[in-house]
């Protein structure tokens, strides 16, 4: 038996990896125990959810950790599993994608058959342009069905895609082109955001002109004819229209799917993470598709034919996992929403989408709901729609405070289930699963219980385990289950050093948290978001939760700043509710008292002021580290993923009012650097 997989604790109660047997669903515990004690048998059974061209010879090869391999010798194709097998089973008329775009005033329903027809034409054209198994292709497109068509056409040929978020500027796009060295780039001519048209084609031309790597084939450009004004101009020497590429294979036999060994690459996706330098997460095909099929059913409760909405973008891992591959492999309907939660055109859009398309479950970030709450706290726009089809809302990507979670549950009348995962893992590490009879009201702030195959430990800096409820570093015991990244593209040394060197035998998540006496996991913050006040370690998220208990506060960011006596003290920037009648001084005083009552004087909570906006990335994460560095007068280089860099003008004013950022240089957006 794996040590710790099953044991009797000091009270004589049987437990599995620290989870008391009597406290949890027996079916969950049975599956979890098997996944830890006999991972080969467990994951071999789950692999039957897919269609394989050739069966595997070995389920698990962990002879060279941390480079674990799953389903060694097995061959399959991601496009076949996403599209072809549904057509062959007679389900071609089923809607695969719903593209709802308030930004362009359009809505499209695309069936599996329609997807297939476009994919085989594009794959045929790509083949004529010389794309073969193992080639890399960069995709620079907005959230439209053609982005998924491009992804699946590439993997149909056994090639590898790297999707670059369609809001990145030329410098960011250039860095990825140089690193991936693609045979060609597939792009849209334009993107659209509230109030502006983004010139994708011009950005692409600039990126390639400054790139050391010149793709040998012309760029394939999909023209969005419904976006006006379009000032882009094709370069006949450098570009070819998407429609012309489709014509290259019209009337010919459809290109067959190329079988790929389970441990060959599916895609490369870049993430900045905590290193401030983009890392190319390389995901292999076999284990990833198995994990997505299993988790979509088990965590999110989605079955073939259900309508599912992952409110994200194709430039982020959520889009790859749960807009594209997961739902399509399962045979569900996946929603692509091209709009904002609050202003395209009003804060009722989430409600409309649920009602109009009978959405079963949603995956989103807490910020989206905070935005809706701030814009329309009384739900005057959303009240006209029905949300009866909805079973649950899943949140991830950032900490969710109690007040926001409580508001979502009261508003949408379904459980709000927090879960935790990373770009590197590809799917959730901890969650509350609809597919089991788990308690749908887990402990407040918990991200749920460990998912199958994840032996989660909380360690002290010396590598010893913490006690229950004691804050530490969250690590995952090796080998990791299927679906995790295989390595960092072209950088195995950084892969080993960054994730596996600090705690040998474990994957270092670089997140801080703790475990309760029932085995629930609590992820408090990135480990560098824990501040040390006179020797006391405080999580910024716990302070933010306390601030958000005040009824006049709608959003908040707390981060550590230097202080001569205590070393560090918390600084709080908060956003009041709309039309707040209280002065900044009065509201700040009330919040300070609230913190003393909830957390105690140990927090040394005195530095506080209001702001109108907080700096966030496009995926909704609050940029606490950037604000903390700015407060310390350090030079701040903002990632190209920042949603609005101009908010730092107000952040400077607020910090200087509190005696910080007095000589801070102006922040620089990374895309502007040479």
Domain map (residue ranges) of the chain: 534-669
- Looking at residues 369-378, what average pLDDT do you find? 90
CA torsion 100-268-283-121 (nearest 10°) is: 60
Query: Average pLDDT of the chain?
Result: 92
Q: What is the model's pTM?
A: 0.87
Q: Dig out the tokens for 152 from the structure.
A: 């699946």
Instruction: Check: CB of residue 186 under 8 Å from CB of residue 140.
Output: yes
The closest alpha carbon to 383, from 418, 414, 355, belongs to 355
DSSP bridge pairs for 638:
669
Whole-angstrom Cα Rg for the chain: 25
Mean pLDDT is highest, among 44-53, 399-408, 544-553, for 44-53
Question: Tell me, what's the pLDDT at 9?
Answer: 55
Q: Between residues 109 and 23, which one has the greater pLDDT?
A: 109
What are 598-616's pLDDT values in tens digits?
777 777 899 999 999 999 8
Residue corresponding to tokens 């905070």: 370
Length of the chain: 674
Instruction: Check: CB of residue 187 under 8 Å from CB of residue 201.
Output: yes
Bond prior to 322 in cis (omega within 30° of 0): no
What are 300-358's pLDDT values in tens digits?
999 999 999 999 999 889 999 999 999 999 999 999 999 999 999 999 999 999 999 99
Distance CA 75, CA 78 (A): 10
What is the CB neighbour count within 10 angstroms for residue 213? 13
Question: Tell me, what's the pLDDT at 13?
Answer: 58
Residue corresponding to tokens 């479950």: 361
Question: Tell me, what's the pLDDT at 275?
Answer: 41
Residue corresponding to tokens 């006999």: 38
| Phi, psi (deg, nearest 5) at residue 176 | -75, -35
CA distances (Å), origin 111, targets 14, 91, 333: 50, 9, 9
Distance CA 137, CA 140 (A): 10
- Looking at residues 576-591, what average pLDDT do you find? 92
- Collapsing DSSP to helix, strand or coil, 148 comes out as helix
Q: Between residues 311 and 526, which one has the greater pLDDT?
A: 311
Question: Tell me, what's the pLDDT at 230?
Answer: 82
> Which H or E run contains 473?
strand 472-477
- Looking at residues 133-147, what average pLDDT do you find? 97
Distance CA 522, CA 444 (A): 9
Considering the domain 534-669 in this protein, what is its CATH number?
A: 3.30.300.30
Question: Tell me, what's the pLDDT at 172?
Answer: 82
What are 73-112's pLDDT values in tens digits?
999 999 999 999 999 999 999 999 999 999 999 999 999 9
* Strand 553-563, strand 536-539: pairing: unpaired
What are 424-472's pLDDT values in tens digits?
999 999 999 999 999 999 998 899 999 999 999 999 999 999 999 998 9
- Cα angle at 313 between 509 and 305, to 5 degrees? 100
């Amino acid at each position: 038996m794996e040590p710790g997989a099953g044991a009797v604790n000091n009270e004589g109660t049987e437990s599995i990896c620290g989870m008391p047997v009597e406290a949890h669903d027996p079916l969950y515990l049975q599956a979890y125990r098997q996944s830890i004690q006999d991972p080969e048998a467990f994951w071999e059974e789950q692999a039957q959810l897919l269609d394989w061209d050739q069966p595997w010879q070995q389920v698990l090869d962990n002879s060279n950790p941390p480079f674990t391999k799953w389903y060694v010798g097995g061959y399959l194709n991601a496009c076949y599993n996403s599209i072809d097998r549904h057509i062959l089973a007679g389900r071609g008329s089923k809607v695969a994608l719903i593209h709802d775009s308030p930004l362009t005033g359009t809505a499209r329903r695309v069936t599996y058959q329609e997807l297939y027809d476009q994919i085989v034409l594009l794959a045929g054209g790509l083949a004529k342009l010389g794309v073969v198994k193992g080639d890399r292709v960069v995709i620079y497109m907005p959230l439209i069905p053609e982005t998924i068509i491009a992804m699946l056409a590439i993997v149909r040929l056994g090639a590898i895609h790297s999707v670059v978020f369609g809001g990145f500027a030329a410098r960011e796009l250039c860095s990825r082109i140089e690193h991936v060295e693609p045979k060609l780039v597939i792009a849209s001519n334009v993107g659209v955001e509230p109030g502006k048209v983004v010139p994708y084609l011009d950005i692409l031309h600039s990126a390639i002109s400054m790139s050391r790597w010149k793709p040998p084939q012309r760029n394939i450009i999909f023209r969005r004819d419904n976006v006006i004004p379009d000032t882009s101009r094709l370069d006949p020497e450098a570009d070819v229209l998407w429609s012309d590429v489709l014509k290259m294979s019209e009337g010919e036999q459809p290109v067959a799917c190329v079988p790929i060994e389970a441990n060959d690459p599916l895609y490369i996706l870049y993430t900045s993470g905590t290193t401030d330098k983009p890392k190319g997460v390389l995901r292999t095909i076999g284990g990833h598709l198995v994990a997505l099929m299993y988790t979509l059913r088990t965590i999110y409760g989605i079955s073939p034919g259900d309508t599912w909405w992952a409110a994200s973008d194709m430039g982020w891992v959520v889009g790859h996992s749960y807009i594209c591959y997961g739902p399509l492999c399962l045979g569900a309907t996946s929603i692509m929403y091209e709009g904002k939660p609050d202003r395209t055109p009003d804060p009722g859009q989430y409600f409309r989408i649920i009602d109009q398309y009978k959405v079963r479950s949603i995956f989103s970030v807490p910020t989206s709901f905070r935005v809706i709450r701030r814009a329309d706290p009384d739900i005057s726009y959303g009240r006209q729609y029905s949300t009866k089809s909805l079973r649950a809302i899943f949140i991830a990507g950032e900490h969710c405070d109690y007040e926001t979670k409580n508001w979502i549950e009261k508003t949408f009348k379904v459980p709000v289930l927090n879960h935790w995962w990373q770009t590197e893992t590809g799917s959730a590490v901890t969650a509350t699963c609809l597919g089991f009879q788990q308690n749908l009201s887990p402990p407040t702030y918990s991200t749920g219980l460990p998912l199958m195959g994840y032996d989660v430990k909380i360690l002290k800096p010396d590598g010893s385990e913490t006690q229950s409820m004691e804050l530490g570093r969250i690590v995952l015991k090796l080998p990791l289950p299927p679906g995790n990244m295989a390595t960092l593209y072209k950088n195995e040394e950084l892969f080993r050093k960054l994730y596996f060197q600090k705690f040998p035998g474990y994957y270092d998540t670089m997140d801080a948290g703790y475990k309760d006496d029932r085995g629930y996991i609590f992820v408090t913050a990135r480990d560098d978001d824990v501040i040390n006040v006179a020797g006391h370690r405080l999580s910024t998220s716990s302070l933010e939760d306390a601030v958000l208990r005040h009824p006049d506060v709608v959003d908040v960011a707390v981060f550590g700043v230097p202080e001569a006596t205590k070393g560090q003290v918390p600084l709080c920037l908060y956003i009041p509710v709309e039309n707040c009648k209280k002065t900044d001084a009065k509201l700040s005083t009330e919040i300070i008292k609230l913190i003393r009552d909830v957390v105690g004087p140990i927090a040394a909570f005195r530095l506080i002021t209001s702001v109108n906006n907080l700096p966030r990335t496009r995926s909704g994460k609050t940029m606490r580290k950037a604000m903390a560095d700015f407060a310390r007068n350090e030079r701040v280089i903002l990632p190209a993923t920042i949603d609005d860099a101009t908010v730092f003008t107000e952040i400077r004013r607020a910090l200087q009012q509190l005696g910080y950022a007095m000589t801070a240089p102006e922040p620089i957006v990374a895309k502007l650097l040479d």
